[in-house]
Structure formats: structure tokens, C-alpha cells
Amino acid sequence: MYLYICSPLIALGIDVLCQVLYCRYRKEASLLMATFFGFSCGLFGLLIIGWCQLQHIALLFTDNLASITVNLISYIALGYCYFHFINLGETARRIRLLQELLESNNGLSEKEILERYNAKEIIEKRLSRLLKSRQIIHKNRKYYIGNPIMLFAASIIIFLKLFILGRRSEFD
């Protein structure tokens, strides 16, 4: 029973393990593919544990369904947190700044930090990602919105910022 209750945590463990193995042993593995692979393996593990356990428990169908839903939602939420952790290491400016400072023995002045990491690099990396995924289009030295998924995500985040924090941007 307790194995089943803890199955979202076990599934998260499977997710992490499979993602790490995918990244380490597959040549030129894309991080996004590895994330999907890990998440799918964890999901498979969760469903297997659920199926095995529910064979032995005499509950009503609705209770079984509710219990599986609880574990599924818990796993999706934990998987989302893990994805966020990976994404922090990949894209967060704060983490990159911490790494730059860790590598320096005597600390860095703001000028020295900006020589190593600056808006130009941040923009170039993100432009490359956005252009590659066709979220934006570059034509005649101008940028246009391509696939509106990112715009949709941005609109949701701005709505939440306005609703919860009462401002559109951290500079407001």
C-alpha cells in the first residue's frame, strides 16, 4: 500500500534516472528530448505500480480512479518542478552569475562580470532558440512573431503578474 502511496516519488526517481542516463549515453542528446523521455519513463512506472497495487485493493471504481488521479497529478507537479530545476541550470541568469563568481578566486566587479556575461550574450542565445523553434521570424533586419505559443505563454504570465503582484513587470 505504502509503495503505491509513494509512487509519485518513485516515478520522479525513475524520471531523473532515465533523463540522466539518456543525456550521458546518447550522443548529441537534446535536453528537451531527454526531459520527455525521462518523464515518459516515470509515467510508465507510476501506471505500472498503480495497476499492480489496485489489483489487490477492493475499492469502488470511483475511489480507484480518484486515487490514480491524485498520484498522476502529484507526479505531473513533481515532474514540472524537476523540469524547472533543469531549466534553471540551463537558462537562469542568477545561476550563470553564481557560476562566474564561483570560478573567480577574488570575486568580480560589476564591470568584470559584464565582460564575462552580458545582455548581448543573453539576447543572442535566446534569439537563437526562438528563431530555431520559429517562435519569432527574422526578415529584412526586423523581427516578427512566428508561432504564437510563446506569446500565449507570455500573455498568461503577464495576466498572473497583474492579478497577483499588481504589476506587469518587475520595473513597474
In this complex, which beta carbon is closest to another protein, that of residue 48 or of residue 151? 151
Q: What track of x and - describes contact with another protein for positions 71 through 110 (by CB under 8 A)? A: x-xxx-xx-xx--xxx-xxxxxxxxxxxxxxx---xxxxx
Phi, psi of 169 (to 5 degrees): -145, 160
Residue 133: how many CA atoms within 13 Å on its side-chain side? 12
**Residue 127 beta carbon to another protein: minimum distance, rounded to whole angstroms:** 7
Among 11, 14, 15, 19, binds another protein (CB under 8 A): 19
**Residue 44 beta carbon to another protein: minimum distance, rounded to whole angstroms:** 19
50: number of Cβ within 10 Å: 18
**Residues paired with 145 in a beta bridge:** 136
**Residue 36 beta carbon to another protein: minimum distance, rounded to whole angstroms:** 14
Residue 117 contacts another protein per CB under 8 A: yes
Nearest in space to 130 (alpha carbons), one of 96, 157, 154 = 154
In the region spanning residues 148 to 167, those forming contacts with another protein, defined by CB under 8 A, are 150-151, 153-154, 157-158, 160-161, 163-166
C-alpha cell at 19: 533523463
Among 44, 69, 115, 128, binds another protein (CB under 8 A): 69
- CA-to-CA distance for 161 and 165, rounded, in angstroms? 5
